Amino acid sequence: MKLITKIVEGAKDILPADSYKWQFVEDIMRKQAMSYGFKEIRTPVFEHTELFERGVGDTTDVVQKEMYTFKTKGEKSITLKPEGTAGAARAILENGVYNDGYPIKAYYITPCYRYERAQKGRQREFHQFGLEVYGAGSYFADAEVICAAKSVFDRLGIENISLELNSIGCKKCRPNYHKALKEYFASHEEELCDTCRSRLDKNPMRILDCKSPVCSEIAKNAPIVLDYLCDECNAHFDGVKKCLDSADVKYTINPQIVRGLDYYTRTVFEFVSNNIGAQGTVCGGGRYDGLMEELGGQPTPSLGFGMGIERLLMVLEESNIEIPKPPVCDLYVIGLGENAQIKAFNIVEGVRNSSLIAECDIVGRNLKKQMMYANKINAKFTMVIGDSEIENNKAKIRNMATKEEKEISIDENFFEEFFAVYVEDGNKNLLDMINKL
């Protein structure tokens, strides 16, 4: 078989055999977000390019090298979202959500796109879970967002992950730090890559985030941002640490963290795993108090994080944490002949309406092949219906694990008798459901 085309490089299919893993993780993410008072926000997968140029920063790797940007038929520049925060902030401003009062607490699960070399843990299409908080300037908000991220790892049973923390100051104290960085990197200008040389005047902090081995080595001896914080930023950072200490959240201070996007201020953090190689950052975030104003809104303290779902699944796999298998077919009904097939179809529809999983043949298999299929999908029970079963309104239901068979009605009493057999087999969790029927 010769396909006319194959999947685009940097993208990955999520097949039915694996999608349950994503659903399990996403379900935990949604539940944890809601437990912290967050509600879902959904934004378009593409935005006007200037949103990311202004919001993310035109000196970042994301904007300079990685965005999927194209022109519409109307010659407008459109970009596939490279991250979730800028679009969420735009939606909050454009739709006047701030009129409902602060804090605004929103979460998203969204695909994102960055044009970079595809490798393990880094795809061109990837998925992010993120939290966004608007209108909360207190360091308690920083600690809450960090704890919310940690709660996802805790619920998943991930232990081998570490929290790294830093503060990168504010508009008041950062100019002094930029001056010190510029002086330091200017002495190594000839050694820097072309991109970092262009950043030297505009935003020297971006050099700290460069992935070039040469630039990274030079950056190791650069001035430390914590030495340049103003009193307000120092007090804020101390408050974050006190809150985390009170919640017994372990962390290390890493002054090298600056994050890859220009909108960050003050607190920045990363959750890092040592189990997935060089791409070990699973979650990153912090505070971005100037973002809303940069996008045309009023000054609004803001913060949040983005968590890579692909990388999180890699951590689960490398940590040998087993994700619960999805539920299997509760009842497979085999119909022999047209009348029996119609009866089987009627029965499985009724079972499905009772929140159980039921199937019958839809491809025209014979008895033997239907039984083979029932085994393949691990059906808990099977039932064969033919002309004699329809005539007598009775059929035998088989427990596929024990091979035990019981005769039950296939008339109006079927559901009551089937559920009795189902619960008797150890599925006690259905008792409440049955009592409601």
pLDDT in tens, 369-408: 999 999 999 999 999 999 999 999 999 999 999 999 999 9
Asked if 361 and 272 sit in the same domain, the reply is: no
Asked if 335 and 314 sit in the same domain, the reply is: no
Asked if 337 and 304 sit in the same domain, the reply is: no
Q: Residue 27 belongs to a domain with what CATH number?
A: 3.30.930.10
Asked if 51 and 151 sit in the same domain, the reply is: yes
Q: Which of 254, 285, 318 is the last residue of a domain?
A: 318
DSSP string across 184-223: HHHTTGGGS-HHHHHHHHH-GGGGGG---HHHHHHHTTSP
Q: What domain count does the chain have?
A: 2
What's CA 394's distance to the chain center, in Å? 49
In DSSP terms, which residues pair with 119 in a beta bridge?
122
Q: Which of 318, 343, 375 is the last residue of a domain?
A: 318
Give residue 430's pLDDT: 46
* Structural domain range at position 417: 331-436
pLDDT of 288 over the 60 cut: yes
Does residue 188 form part of some domain?
Answer: no
Does residue 325 form part of some domain?
Answer: no
Give residue 317's pLDDT: 93
pLDDT in tens, 109-149: 999 999 987 777 679 999 999 999 999 999 999 999 999 99
For residue 406, the SS3 value is strand
Taking only Cα atoms into account, the Rg of the chain, rounded to an integer number of angstroms, comes to: 28
DSSP string across 269-297: EEEEESSSTT--EEEEEEE-TTHHHHTTS
Asked if 138 and 48 sit in the same domain, the reply is: yes
Q: Residue 353 belongs to a domain with what CATH number?
A: 3.40.50.800
Does residue 271 form part of some domain?
Answer: yes
Question: What is the percent of the chain with per-residue pLDDT over 90, rounded to a whole number?
Answer: 73
CB 358 within 8 Å of CB 351: yes
What average pLDDT does the segment 55-59 reach?
Answer: 73
Asked if 133 and 28 sit in the same domain, the reply is: yes
Q: CB within 8 A of 234, min separation 6: which ones?
A: 167
In the DSSP assignment, the letter for residue 325 is P
